[in-house]
Structure formats: structure tokens, C-alpha cells
């Protein structure tokens, strides 16, 4: 029996802006979400420190009560927030910048029922990647970070710090957190193999 040829790998993009740009996808608060409103902004940089101007960032997060809007979340349905979907997308601009408006997520149960620190799950798609990169954003000003089992699983403190979003001086829309994503090289963001 003849062996079928395999298809060579293809890198992702550059097609995000014309194919996936939808107004409002980066604002998770527009339907009246409950909770403390925050903004998350930063830049996506390549291994040379240059901006990635055609990247797509997807975020998933729990609501302010710590419940995901997903049928596999076993927590009681009364913890859902009808005004919060918990998913968004943002595209990078020419200088690599992106921005989300969202709410600060609550703590969710993790392995063994241990509560995880509030976090946002991110997937990054960019030109030159063979697949998505997955990481988490934690809040540098969160006291429960020291108890988080996922953060604790990262032995290197330098790598662990790449997952911390830094609060910026207060603005009119609540706290703004800065979270740069470095795809490789010096200061590379810690990514997860999922």
C-alpha cells in the first residue's frame, strides 16, 4: 500500500486584520458585565524586540464571581453573569499594541479544588508561528498569587514574572494593567504546552 504524502507545515497569518477584525470584540464589558472594570493593554514583540503588527490575541476568563461561561464549569449556574461572555479578541496595531476592556476575574477552583489566583487565559496567533501560543496573565497586585498552583509550577522566578500584568497610574476607566507579550528571546513570555 502506497504511503500518502504528508502536507508540509504552514505558518500562521498574515490574515488576521482582513479576516478577523470585528468591532467590539475587545470590549468584554459592553453588555453590562458586573465587577470591577479594568483595561489590559500592551505590545506583542518578536525575538528582536520589534512590534508584531499583525497578531491576534484571544482571551478567556471567569467572571467576577469566578465562574466561566462554559457548560463544563461545575460551579452553580446562579454565579453566571448574563452580561459577561468571558471571551474576547484584539488585534495588534502597527506598533504592536493591543487593548482589552474587561472586568477583574474572580478566583476559580484548580487542581484538587485549590483556588487559583485571578487570571486571564491568552492565546496568541502571529505571522511566523506554526500554531497558537498559550499563556496566562496574572495581576501583579494580587495577594493570592503566592498560593496559585500554576504560578508555583514555574520554577524560574524570572519566567514567572513574565506572567504578571503591572498596574499603571489610574485613569478614568478603572485600573489599567500593562502586559507585554514577547514571543521569543530575551524577556520571552512563559508559554504553556496545552
Q: Supply the range of the domain harboring residue 126.
A: 16-182
Q: Is residue 128 part of a domain?
A: yes
Note whether 73 and 67 are within 8 A (CB): yes
**Predicted TM-score (pTM) of this structure:** 0.88
pLDDT digit string (tens) for the chain, length 194 residues: 556 656 554 445 555 555 566 668 899 999 999 999 999 999 999 989 999 998 999 999 999 999 999 988 888 898 999 999 899 999 999 999 999 999 999 999 988 889 999 999 999 998 877 789 999 999 999 999 999 999 999 999 999 999 999 999 866 667 999 999 999 999 999 999 98
- What does the CA dihedral 127, 132, 136, 137 come to, rounded to 10 degrees? 20
Q: Domain containing 30 — which CATH number?
A: 2.60.130.10
Number of domains making up the chain: 1
The overall longest dimension of the chain from CA atoms, in Å, is: 68
Q: How far is CA 43 from CA 71, 112, 124, 147, 160, in A?
A: 32, 35, 12, 28, 18
Amino acid at each position: 500500500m502506497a504511503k500518502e504524502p504528508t502536507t508540509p507545515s504552514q505558518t500562521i497569518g498574515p490574515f488576521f486584520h482582513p479576516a478577523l477584525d470585528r468591532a467590539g470584540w475587545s470590549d468584554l464589558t459592553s453588555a453590562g458585565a458586573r465587577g470591577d472594570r479594568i483595561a489590559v493593554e500592551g505590545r506583542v514583540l518578536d525575538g528582536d524586540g520589534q512590534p508584531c503588527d499583525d497578531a491576534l490575541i484571544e482571551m478567556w476568563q471567569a467572571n467576577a464571581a469566578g465562574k466561566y461561561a462554559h457548560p463544563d464549569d461545575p460551579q452553580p449556574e446562579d454565579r453566571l453573569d448574563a452580561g459577561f461572555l468571558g471571551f474576547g479578541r484584539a488585534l495588534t496595531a502597527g506598533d504592536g499594541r493591543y487593548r482589552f476592556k474587561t472586568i477583574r476575574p474572580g478566583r476559580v477552583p484548580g487542581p484538587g479544588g485549590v483556588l487559583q489566583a485571578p487570571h486571564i487565559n491568552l492565546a496568541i496567533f502571529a505571522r511566523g508561528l506554526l500554531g497558537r501560543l498559550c499563556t496566562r496573565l496574572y495581576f501583579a497586585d494580587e495577594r493570592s498569587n503566592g498560593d496559585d498552583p500554576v504560578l508555583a509550577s514555574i520554577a524560574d522566578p524570572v519566567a514567572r514574572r513574565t506572567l504578571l500584568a503591572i498596574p499603571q497610574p489610574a485613569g478614568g476607566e478603572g485600573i489599567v494593567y500593562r502586559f507585554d507579550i514577547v514571543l521569543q528571546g530575551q524577556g520571552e513570555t512563559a508559554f504553556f504546552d496545552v
